[in-house]
Amino acid sequence: MSASLATDLHDHLALCQEMLTLVERESASLRQGDEAKRFEFFSARKTLLPRLDESVARIKRQRLDWQRLPAADRARQPEVTGLLRQNQDLIMKILVLDRENEQQLLRRGLVPPKHLPSPERQRPHFVADLYLRQGGR
């Protein structure tokens, strides 16, 4: 099981690296004001999405088995733990950079109105504040 999980995590890491490269290229393009490549990035994202969905599904299927293993057994497989951490770190980089790209597009008015983020998304503590106002129930 852990060998299969490690393989899937390696594959997912490679996919995330592709995504990061794409987002970095998009960022550079936006900084240079090259809006002609927007469709290229959109198309590349659309082709990555099914692969990402498939990769996440494979990892999800194995996640519960991994979590059910005793801590001692998991500790004997540091590669999986390291790969999980690497994937998380890379995903966070992608999210931050993609958010910056989205802000650049918004500033230039290049996002259709129906795709504008909700005002709550611009307030990172909105859910926590809402929860507190409801009495913490």
Q: How far apart are the first and last CA of the chain?
A: 39
Confidence of residue 91 (pLDDT cuts 50, 70, 90): very high
Domain boundaries, the chain: 2-112
Task: Answer yes or no: is pLDDT of 57 > 90.
Answer: yes
pLDDT at position 93:
94
Confidence of residue 115 (pLDDT cuts 50, 70, 90): low
- The predicted-structure confidence for 36-48, as pLDDT tens digits, reads as follows 788 889 899 999 9
Neighbour-count burial for 52-89, b at 16+ CB within 10 Å, e otherwise: eeebeebbeebeeebeeeeeeeeeebeebeebbebbee
Task: Answer yes or no: is pLDDT of 88 > 60.
Answer: yes
When the pLDDT of each residue in the chain is averaged and rounded to a whole number, the result is: 85
Average pLDDT over residues 66-79: 89
Closest CA to 14 of 74, 90, 120: 90
Cα 17 to Cα 87: distance, rounded to the nearest angstrom: 9
How many contiguous H segments (helices) and E segments (strands) does the chain have? 5, 0
